[in-house]
Amino acid sequence: NRAELVNYTEKLFDRLRDEERKKVQLLAEAMQRLGRSDETDFSFYLRVVSDNTTVPVIITDTTGAVRFHRNVDEELAKDSTRMAQEVADMAALHTPIEIAIPGVEQQRLYYKDSKVVSELQEVMDGIIRSFISETVMSTAAVPVIYTDSTRTKVIESGHIEAEVLASETLLQARIAAMGQANTPIAIELPGQGRHYIFYEESLVITQLRYFPYVQFGILALFLIVAYALFSIFRNAEQNQVWVGMAKETAHQLGTPLSSLMAWMELLKAKNVDPEALNEMRKDVDRLEVITERFSKIGSAPDLEPEKLYHTLRATVLYLRPRLPSKAQIEVLLPADPEMLVPLNRALFSWVIENLIRNAI
């Protein structure tokens, strides 16, 4: 991963620094041998000194006066104050190397990382910052807290509420909750030690987790609505069939009913018993009412002003001889027997008949 890449790069930088230190030590050794009187061939040592074209070095005596410098900016070398500060900076970076030359006062060699290593170090620092900002903090919509090795000091955070960051108590509670929800990720960064990344699921992931259940719920609701609509349409179709059958039945009853009325007139002309004809008339009227009822199924009834008492009494008078002898039905005379009520005579009589039959 990127943390391992950062660590590997830092190891490469350490190797470069070691190589430069060895070059400086070799330079110090060459300077020391150049000062010996028994040496006759100085070409090797001079080549060692001249081959150093990258590492800035400064050699001073015991008083701090600069005796030699290489790879140092010329403008800087002309300013003694700045050179003294440069020597101090080099001493802070690396321990100076002692150069002991016989017959000459002891000298010190100061050095710092070459420009190449310094630039690479800046790149390295940029990589580390990029790692923290991009790899750790730029996880889309995922709450993240980046801490030090103690797991309490927050270095960076992302997608954490401002009120949580403002309260140390809430922040530590959030870190503890994240640690319980997911094992924190430990990373090693050069020069910074071990750090931890605490994280938790984003709102998007939580929504995606429950999304299948929501889908199934919507699908189930859709199926229920579809089945309900299907049942409604099926019942409506059945009702239409029943309405059609009822109207057809009423239509078919019209022909024999007309024939029966004609036969009654014929029997009346032949002086048949009037009482029998009267009962037959009632039955024919009854069939006519039934035919009218069937014809009105499925359509809005036509309401007309009718005398409620007389309509109710006529229905009871027809039913009374056709009911069991123990059944007693009385119609009380109201205060206003001529009161008119908007109703459909055939359907009203049908309702009264059903009520009476169900009561018995």
Tell me: the pLDDT tens digits for 78-135?
A: 888 888 888 888 888 888 877 776 666 777 888 887 776 676 767 666 766 676 666 5
- pLDDT in the model for residue 183: 87
In terms of average pLDDT, the best of 47-56, 118-127, 171-180, 189-198 is 171-180
The Cβ of residue 337 has, within 10 Å, a number of other Cβ atoms equal to 11
Between 290 and 179, the more confident residue is: 179
Residues 22-44: pLDDT tens digits?
666 666 666 665 555 455 444 54
For 2-117, give the CATH class: alpha beta
Contact 119, 95 (CB under 8 A): no
- pLDDT in the model for residue 232: 92
- CB-based contacts of 337: which residues, under 8 Å, 6+ apart? 307, 309, 310
- pLDDT in the model for residue 34: 55
The one-letter code for the residue type at 79 is D
pLDDT, mean of residues 301-310:
86
- pLDDT in the model for residue 41: 47
The one-letter code for the residue type at 122 is E
Q: What percent of the chain has a predicted confidence (pLDDT) above 90?
A: 5
- pLDDT in the model for residue 244: 81
- pLDDT in the model for residue 216: 92
**Range from 107-111, 191-195, 324-328 carrying the lowest mean pLDDT:** 191-195
How far, in Å, CA of 134 to CA of 140, rounded? Answer: 10
* pLDDT of 187 over the 70 cut: yes
Between 239 and 44, the more confident residue is: 239
Contact 151, 175 (CB under 8 A): yes
- Mean pLDDT score of the chain, rounded to an integer? 78
- pLDDT in the model for residue 45: 44
Q: What are the domain boundaries of the chain?
A: 2-117, 137-200, 203-299, 301-360
* pLDDT of 225 over the 60 cut: yes
The Cβ of residue 51 has, within 10 Å, a number of other Cβ atoms equal to 12
The one-letter code for the residue type at 91 is A
* pLDDT of 12 over the 90 cut: no
